[in-house]
Amino acid sequence: MFLNWSGDGKTLCAVMEDGKCELYALSGRSLKRSGEYNMGDKPTGACARISHVLPEKSLLDGDVDSLKTKNNLSSFEELGKMNGLTTPVQMPTAMKHSFVVSTEGGVLHLIEQDGTGTKLCQLDYRVEFVSHYHQKELLIALASDLMLYHFNILPDSTIKERLKVKLNGKPGSTVIVLKENLLLISHQERDLRVWNLETEENGTISLQSAKGYSADDAVLCMDYSKKKGTSIPNKI
């Protein structure tokens, strides 16, 4: 079972082992069931999603939402580049909250707060990890064949692939953590891959003997703090 609160803390999504997703709205101090969605497959992961949507009336000429959809754009930054602007288009937006759930069969589902849902895409293998980086509206998924995907969900609930890369490592050994703007990837070996989602740069940190690590040490779990240094010796 997976439990996820929406970004605004008003909706709870409970994903059952049989693939049924139940949505509960927070009303005062109690929860009231607001909807249900059935995926028809065993879930493997779930995450909350925050997206930014335009108000119905735009200050720009024409309908920007329609323009973004028509041109397969996923962000106002891309819209600005298309129009030759050096800075992203700044528009008043509202936050929309939803959920993404992954399954054994490799399907990613988008579920709204009212319980309505849609199939986003079908991957080739079981989805091992799914998370959402809200600042860039970036959906991250890892399949069991170690293929890592970065997607943008478009306004019409279709999906745009931004990146697809094969990771090195043994299937079933990969651990992924999304903290702040960093995607941390470990294959339970001596190396830790660090991926900056803002700059799109990535690099590797290795356990060094000079730092007190032995030849048998491996990265099994990880976390991230903006504070430099650590008070725990020989730990990452």
pLDDT, position 22 = 96
Decide if pLDDT at 234 tops 50.
no
For the segment 54-74, the average pLDDT, to the nearest whole number, is 51
Q: What are the two backbone dihedrals, phi and then psi, of residue 153, each rounded to the nearest 5 degrees? A: -90, 120
pLDDT, position 85 = 46
What tokens were used for 45?
Answer: 């992961």
Q: Report the Cα 23 to chain-centroid distance in Å.
A: 19
Q: Is 62 exposed, middle or buried (0-12, 13-18, 19+ CB in 10 A)?
A: exposed
pLDDT, position 236 = 45
Task: Write the single-letter amino acid at 54.
Answer: L
pTM: 0.77
Residue 205's alpha-carbon distances to 1, 74, 185, 186, in angstroms, are 33, 32, 10, 10
pLDDT, position 9 = 94
Q: Give the confidence band of 55 by pLDDT, cuts at 50, 70, 90.
A: low
Q: What is the pLDDT of residues 178-233, one digit of tens each?
A: 998 999 998 888 888 899 999 988 888 888 888 878 888 888 787 887 776 654 44
CATH number of 1-51+94-166: 2.130.10.10
How many CB atoms sit inside 10 A of residue 132's CB?
22
Query: How far is residue 141's CA from residue 233's CA, in Å, rounded to a whole number?
Result: 32
Reduced 3-state DSSP string for 76-131: HHHHHHHCCCCCCCCCCCEEEEEEEEEECCCEEEEEECCCCEEEEEECCCCEEEEE
Query: How far is residue 46's CA from residue 13's CA, in Å, rounded to a whole number?
Result: 9
Decide if pLDDT at 130 tops 60.
yes
Q: Give the confidence band of 40 by pLDDT, cuts at 50, 70, 90.
A: very high
What tokens were used for 76?
Answer: 């106002």
Looking at the chain, the domain(s) classified CATH 2.130.10.10 span: 1-51+94-166
pLDDT, position 7 = 93
